Amino acid sequence: MQYGYFDDAHKEYVITTPRTPYPWINYLGSQEFFALISNTAGGYAFYKDALLRRLTRYRYNNVPLDNGGRYFYIKDGETLWAPGWKPVKTELDRYECRHGMGYTRIQGEKQGVAADLLCFVPLDYTGEVQKLSLKNTSAETKTLHIFSLLEFCLWNALDDMTNFQRNFNTGEIEIEGSVIYHTTEYRERRNHYAFYAVNAEISGFDTDRECFLGLYNGFDLPDVVKSGQSGNSVADGWSPIASHHLKLSLQPGEEHSYVFILGYAENAPDQKWEVPGVINKRKAHTMIAQFDTEQKVGQAFLKLKDSWDRLLNRFSVQSCDENVNRMVNIWNQYQCMMTFNMARSASYFESGIGRGIGFRDTNQDMLGCMHQIPERARQRILDVAATQFEDGSAYHQYQPLTKRGNDAVGSHFNDDPLWLILAVSAYLKETGDWSILDESVPFDNDERKAASLFEHLKRSFAHVVNHRGQHNLPLIGRADWNDCLNLNCFSTNPDESFQTTTNKQGKTAESVLIAGMFVFIGKEYAAICDHLGKAAEADAVRKQIRDMEQAVIKAGWDGAWFLRAYDNAGQKIGSQECPEGKIFIESQGFCSMAQIGQARNLPQIALDSVKTHLDTPYGIVLLNPAYSRYYLNLGEVSTYPPGYKENAGIFCHNNPWIMIAEAILGRGDLAFEYYQKICPSYLEEISDLHRTEPYVYSQMIAGKDAKRHGEAKNSWLTGTAAWNFVAISQWILGIQPDYAGLRIDPCIPAAWEQFTVRRVFRGSTYTIKVNNPEHVCKGINSFSVDGKSLPGNLAPVFDDDQEHVVEVTLGA
């Protein structure tokens, strides 16, 4: 069953009922100010950091689901309704929600009044603009009462949810005309305030939640709205809110629009006050003036759309498959930008208080948007590298506001250092900007300990070399990519987190995944050394890589697939010998991508085993058979019921590793079959089973051992976005940025006749036409650039602002 449809021409997903199987959300903002918005106008806003600068309150884990947002109540005689259905839930005569690129438009109609709510964060603006238009579609005059509502969060979102003995006393508000200022804690150490404005004279306001709602009411039927009269309440502690009361009379056919602004402003410490006790509102006044008319909003909206068009146009494909086109050209690229912006902080599955920007996560996220925002990726690389320790290991996350590393979600995950090399190599391939390697970057956020970025890469590589176990394989540390394979955490205490609890000695458990990563990513490090003329280092690196390959072939191969690990007792994990968890996806993916044991055909044998043991109709499960009970020596992986999350869920993040490995092998039909299985737009028709948004990837789909096989969770913020974009764009369509040019090496379904990609690369635009007359999956018969036939498959760098045509004919 579907709950909407794709409108590709407008780059929108159109939701046609408010009763989606779960809130289907979108993100507003892409620089400093962000907001989440669901299809019923739920969600919240924050400045830079969802933990430390939360503007509006949101209650996760609440009933009913998705309560709280930017709400507009419309009272038309005795009828009370809201354009997005919630929170009032009056049946609407018409409803539609369009999630687009950085904006959401919700339309509702009731008894001859049509409402149109457009929400977006303009470029270079620290606020959310909400344009509410109301039209009288009836034959009579309408007299309406409109009440806006949002609830402020007292800035620190965790404290706001926990520290009531203090917080019920601190709330403060100032009101000036139609603008409500949230000033809690401004009297002391905060130099920032929020405001909620409307560009019209108001008939009243409320800022005290209890007065607006009534102590025992929910958002659905506030006392003030019911009575049709604001209380003009001024919050004094408790819970500050902002509500405007507007009265509107509309003749038949008449339309009127209001512009609401939820804004954030900061003042220098010596400019905080106008007079003692009155905050300096100059910045708010300027921000409000920027969008005080419909025309100004319209212009900003066009600019926003234009900027997204330009971002997305840097890569576009025309193929015979409309789902490939819409995912590659629109939604997958869009999601990649959101994962870059949000990391794993704020979604409807991530609370915004748990996680900042993860070291491993952001390095992978950048792989998906390097072509869109190389300058921002450059800064991100420098920021994340600054949280590395001198021995090459790293804090596992940092807060975006402070850019300081912390170990709130653990540290010493021994895969972390390698991801930095991968992100940097992707940056170099995209931009050719080798100067980044000379940038001076602190260790442990300490300027006194700074070295070149190249030195950081060197220590990343060395960290693996220096931490190996008895089979010469990499020690796993707290965990590797699989946060839940906790081979050094023997936990019998339900009150401790697997992510932070103390390691065992950590001298025995080894990871075959890290070995595969080391070989795959190490080759990039060697290429970087080559380019820099560091021949001795490059030779040493290649020798280490050969040694690692040998170690894997000797101790990491289980007969028909790659082992996953050795545990703290030196026992095999992911082996025929194991009663459960005999085969894992991660090591098959990375060791095959790295071509380990290619001479003996090990990648193909491993990938065949994936097909036999891990594949399902809804994607590839992480391991098989699922763990049926808790294993002390394995940790969190075995805490999940069979089929969920890391315990044999379909982890959409590493399915593309298998797609890539299949593409390297040349099996384009299989690579594409795996691509289709988890790609959300193909799943639109089973939305009632899948449940999360059909326009974005989710982290996990329940595996075959789960009761809810096929049901997805944790949409939006997942490395799945980046890796699937890498798989489809670089390995299936085969457009690979490389150090010296753009390499073209498609591996497609044999049935495909042709496709065309337009790709901006290093200052030129390449139109790449791929023909497949012999219906092969892979292999190039002829290759030409601007009509000139070339050997190989590398299109040169032109950097000339011009268009270039690359023609490729596939063949045996």
Could you give the residue numbers annotated as active site?
Answer: 483
State the nearest-atom distance from the C-beta of 237 to ligand NOJ, in Å: 38
Residue 409 sits in the site that holds ligand BGC (CB under 6 A): yes
Judge whether 802 and 765 are in contact, CB under 8 Å. yes
> Least distance (Å) from ligand NOJ to the CB of residue 620?
14
CA proximity to 258, closest of 302, 207, 293, 299: 293
Contact 386, 442 (CB under 8 A): yes
Smallest separation (angstroms) from ligand NOJ to the CB of 586:
9
Nearer to ligand BGC by Cβ, of 49 and 636: the residue is: 636
* Dihedral, CA of residue 703, residue 706, residue 711 and residue 714, to nearest 10: -80
> What is the distance between the alpha carbons of residues 147 and 733, in angstroms, rounded to a whole number?
51
Which one of the spans 210-218, 233-241, 321-329, 480-488 is the region binding ligand NOJ (CB under 6 A)?
480-488
Q: Interface mask (CB under 6 A) for ligand NOJ, residues 286-325, using x and -?
A: ----------------------------------------
When asked if residue 361 is in the footprint of ligand NOJ (CB under 6 A), the reply is: yes
Instruction: Report the 10 Å Cβ neighbour count for 473.
Output: 26
Using CB under 6 A as the binding rule, whether residue 483 contacts ligand NOJ is answered as yes
Q: How many residues bind ligand NOJ (CB under 6 A)?
A: 9
* Contacts of ligand NOJ in 621-660 (CB under 6 A): 646
Closer CB to ligand NOJ, 74 or 336, in the complex = 336
Residue 208 contact, options ligand BGC, ligand NOJ, none, Cβ 5-8 Å cut-off depending on partner type: none
Q: Nearer to ligand NOJ by C-beta: 358 or 474?
A: 358
Among 99, 145, 360, 778, binds ligand NOJ (CB under 6 A): 360
Minimum distance of ligand BGC from residue 761's CB (angstroms): 33
Of the candidates 719, 713, 811, 765, the residue with the CA atom closest to the CA atom of residue 23: 713
Residue closer to ligand BGC by CB (options 184, 714) is: 714
Between helices 585-593 and 512-531, what is the axis angle to 10°?
30
CB 655 within 8 A of CB 610: no
Instruction: Specify the DSSP element, H or E, that contains 725.
Output: helix 720-726
Binds 772: which of ligand NOJ, ligand BGC, none (CB < 5-8 Å by kind): none
Q: Closer CB to ligand NOJ, residue 13 or residue 349?
A: 349
Kindly tell me the burial class for residue 169, based on how many C-beta atoms sit within 10 Å of its own C-beta (0-12, 13-18, 19 or more): exposed
219 binds ligand NOJ (CB under 6 A): no
135: its two tokens: 């039209």
Q: Which is nearer to ligand BGC, 195 or 349 (CB)?
A: 349
* Bond prior to 656 in cis (omega within 30° of 0): no
The Cα 433–Cα 377 span in angstroms is 12
* CA 450 to chain CA mean position, Å: 30
Pattern of binders to ligand BGC over 642-681, x per CB under 6 A? ---xx-----------------------------------
Contact 518, 418 (CB under 8 A): yes
Number of residues that bind ligand BGC (CB under 6 A): 7
64: preceding bond cis by omega (within 30 degrees): yes
What's the closest the beta carbon of residue 646 comes to ligand BGC, in angstroms? 5
Taking the complex as a whole, the smallest distance from the CB of residue 486 to ligand BGC amounts, in Å, to: 10
- Check binding of 424 to ligand BGC (CB under 6 A): no
Asked if 160 is part of the footprint of ligand NOJ (rule: CB under 6 A), the reply reads: no
To the nearest whole angstrom, how small is the minimum distance from the Cβ of residue 145 to ligand BGC?
46
Q: What span, in angstroms and rounded, lies between the C-alpha atoms of 185 and 192?
A: 9
Nearer to ligand NOJ, 337 or 721 (CB): 721
Closest CA to 301 of 530, 130, 179: 130
Residue 499 interacting entry, from ligand BGC, ligand NOJ, none, C-beta within 5 to 8 Å by type: ligand BGC
Instruction: Give the pair of three-digit tokens for residue 681.
Output: 């737009």
CA separation for the pair 693, 716 (Å, rounded): 9
CB of 444 to ligand BGC, least distance (A): 21
Q: Are 728 and 720 in contact (CB under 8 A)?
A: no
Comparing CB distances to ligand NOJ, the nearer of 290 and 715 is 715
- Could you tell me if 700 and 651 are in contact, meaning their C-beta atoms sit under 8 angstroms apart? yes
Contact between 499 and ligand BGC per CB under 6 A: yes
Whose Cβ is closer to ligand NOJ: residue 150's or residue 701's?
A: 701
Nearest residue relative to ligand BGC (C-beta): 483
Residue with tokens 């894992």: 584
> For 582, which DSSP code?
-
Considering only residues 325-344, where is the footprint of ligand NOJ by CB under 6 A? 344
Mask of contacts with ligand BGC, 472-491, x by CB under 6 A? Answer: -----------xx-------
DSSP 636: G
Q: How many CA atoms lie within 13 A of 14 on its CB side?
A: 11
Q: Are 81 and 162 in contact (CB under 8 A)?
A: no
Q: Which residue ranges make up the site for ligand NOJ (CB under 6 A)?
A: 344, 358, 360-361, 481-484, 646
Q: Which residue ranges make up the site for ligand BGC (CB under 6 A)?
A: 409, 483-484, 499, 636, 645-646
